[in-house]
Amino acid sequence: MFEFQPATIEYILLVIFAASVLVQLFYYLIFYLRTGTSRPGERKSQNLPVSVIICARNEAENLEVFLPSVLEQDYPDFEVIVVNDCSDDDTEDILEKYARQYEKLKITKIYKESSLRHSKKMALFLGIKAASNEILLLTDADCQPVSENWISSFASSFTESTDFVLGYGGYLKKKGLLNKYIRWDTMFIAMQYTGMAMAGLPYMGVGRNLAYRKSVFFKNKGFGPNLYLQSGDDDLFVNMLAEKKNTTVNLAPESFTRSIPAGSWKEFLRQKTRHLSTASHYKMLTKFLLVTEPLSRLLFYSLLLVLLILTNLYQAIGMAAAAVIICKLISYVLVHKNLNEKDLLVFSPLFDIISPFLNVYFLLNVAFKRHQYYEWK
C-alpha cells in the first residue's frame, strides 16, 4: 500500500500552488485588467429614442429624492416609465406629483391580488410592454445617475449590431467597514462581468444600470424559461442572450449610477443570497469561470502560508506570490480609478483575501435556503 511521504505531500502542495498562481495571473491579465485599461472611445450621438424603466414597490422616499435626476436628463427624446407594483406607502402620491411636473413621466400601476406573488419580472414585463421606444434603459428606484448625460451615454453606445449595453452601478459612500466591503464587492463583480464581456464572454449585467432592445426581449418571449424564477431579471436574461457580437460595455464616467447600499449585515446577506440563488442557472462555462477564480484565490492565499511554513523554497514561492500580488495591485489601481472607487484601494488587499471565504458562507446560505421565496426589492 502506497504511503505519502512528507516530500510527496510538499510536492503536491507546490503543484497546486503553482496552478493557483497561473490561474490568478490568467484571470487578472486576460479579464480583470481590461476594466482598468478600458477607455471610452468617441461615440457618435445618435439621439435614439429611449425608454427608461423603473420598477418600484414602497419606494416613496427614494423616488422623491432620485427620480428628478432621471427626469431631468439632458437628452432630446426619452420617456420614463415607473411601474408602481402594489405599493402601500406614498409612492402613488409622489408619482402623481412628478407627473404634473414632468411630461416625460408615465406611470403603470399593478394592483394587489392575494392569489398572486408579484415578482419583479412581472413588473418589468409590464413596464417594457408600456414602453414606446426600442432602446430600453433599466435602473432602480433607489438609484441616481451621476450625470445628466447618463441617457446620452447609453444611447450613443448602441450600433446596428448592439443588443445589450452593460453599465456600472455602484453604491453611495456611507460610514463603516460594511459599506466599504459592499462597495468593493460590487466593484469586483463589475470587474468580472465587464472584463469578461470585453474579452468576448458576456455573462451578466445589473438591473441598476443596463440597456437592451425591446425587440430582443419580446423575440425571446420575455424572460423565457427563467420566468418562474423570482430573481434573475437582469443577470439570467443577459446570460441567456448576450454574445460577443451583440454586447458592449459602457464605462464612461457619466454612465454610472449610485444606489443606496444595505445598512446592515443581515440586509446584505439577504441581498447576496437572492443574487446567488440564480447562479445555478448560468451557462456551464459561466459557472466554471466564476467558481475557478475564487477557488484559485482561496488556494493561493492558504497554500502560500502553508508552504512558507513547511518548505524552505522561500525565494521561488516569494517570486511567484510577488508576481500575482503585483498583477493584482496594478489591476486594482486602474479599476478603482476607472470606476471612481479610489478610496477603496487601501482595503483591496484585505478584501481580496477574505472575499472567497465570505462567498463560501454565502453559497452555503443559498444551499440551505434554496426553496425560500425572495422578495424582488
pLDDT digits (tens, 9 = 90+) for 190-240: 999 999 999 999 999 999 999 999 999 999 887 777 766 667 678 888 988
Q: How do residues 92-114 score in pLDDT, each as one tens digit?
A: 999 999 999 999 999 999 988 75
Over range 340-368, report the average pLDDT: 90
Q: Which of 179, 196, 191, 75 minimizes the C-alpha distance to 137?
A: 75
Contacts of 254 (CB under 8 A, 6+ apart): 146, 147, 149, 150, 152, 153
Q: Three-class SS of residue 200?
A: coil
Asked if 130 and 203 sit in the same domain, the reply is yes
pLDDT of the residue at 372: 53
Q: How do residues 293-342 score in pLDDT, each as one tens digit?
A: 999 999 999 999 999 988 888 899 999 999 999 999 999 999 999 999 99
42 pLDDT band, cuts 50/70/90, is: low
**How many CA atoms within 13 Å lie on the side-chain side of 112?**
6
Asked if 73 and 134 sit in the same domain, the reply is yes
Please state at what angle helix 284-310 crosses helix 177-198, rounded to 10 degrees. Answer: 120
**Is 303 contained in some domain?**
yes
**Is 112 contained in some domain?**
yes
**Is 323 contained in some domain?**
yes
Q: What is the pTM of this model?
A: 0.91
pLDDT of the residue at 340: 96
Asked if 298 and 189 sit in the same domain, the reply is no
**Is 155 contained in some domain?**
yes
Asked if 130 and 71 sit in the same domain, the reply is yes
Asked if 88 and 197 sit in the same domain, the reply is yes
- Would the pLDDT of 376 be above 80? no
pLDDT of the residue at 301: 96
1 pLDDT band, cuts 50/70/90, is: very low
Residue of higher predicted confidence among 70 and 43? 70
Least confident of 39-48, 62-71, 186-195, 211-220: 39-48
Mean pLDDT of the chain: 90
224: left (phi over 0), alpha (psi -120 to 50) or beta: left
Radius of gyration of the chain (CA): 22
Q: State the Cα–Cα distance between residues 197 and 64, nearest whole angstrom.
A: 34
Residue ending a domain, choose from 263, 294, 311: 263
Asked if 231 and 191 sit in the same domain, the reply is yes
Query: The CATH number of the domain where 89 resides is what?
Result: 3.90.550.10
Asked if 353 and 241 sit in the same domain, the reply is no
Q: How do residues 229-280 score in pLDDT, each as one tens digit?
A: 667 678 888 988 999 999 999 999 999 999 999 999 999 998 888 888 787 7
Q: In what order do the strands lie in the sheet with 169-171?
A: 143-145, 257-259, 169-171
pLDDT of the residue at 369: 64
**Is 45 contained in some domain?**
no
**Is 372 contained in some domain?**
no
Over range 39-65, report the average pLDDT: 88
Look up residue 133 and give its DSSP letter: S
pLDDT of the residue at 98: 97
Residue spans of alpha helices (H) in 311-347:
314-338
Asked if 254 and 134 sit in the same domain, the reply is yes
Asked if 118 and 190 sit in the same domain, the reply is yes
373 pLDDT band, cuts 50/70/90, is: very low
Asked if 97 and 27 sit in the same domain, the reply is no
- Would the pLDDT of 3 be above 60? no
**Is 43 contained in some domain?**
no
Percent of the chain past pLDDT 70, that is, above it, reads 92
Asked if 190 and 234 sit in the same domain, the reply is yes
pLDDT of the residue at 95: 97
Percent of the chain past pLDDT 90, that is, above it, reads 73
Asked if 168 and 30 sit in the same domain, the reply is no
What's the domain count of the chain? 2
Least confident of 63-67, 191-195, 274-278, 282-286: 274-278
Q: State the Cα–Cα distance between residues 80 and 151, nearest whole angstrom.
A: 11
C-alpha cell at 271: 441581498
* Phi, psi (deg, nearest 5) at residue 293: -65, -55
- Domain carrying residue 221: 50-263
**Is 79 contained in some domain?**
yes
Q: How do residues 122-176 score in pLDDT, each as one tens digit?
A: 889 999 999 999 999 999 999 999 999 999 999 999 999 999 999 999 999 999 9
Please state at what angle helix 284-310 crosses helix 314-338, rounded to 10 degrees. Answer: 140
Q: State the Cα–Cα distance between residues 44 and 42, nearest whole angstrom.
A: 7
Q: State the Cα–Cα distance between residues 257 and 139, nearest whole angstrom.
A: 8
Residue ending a domain, choose from 232, 263, 294: 263
The helix (run of H) or strand (run of E) holding residue 242 is: none
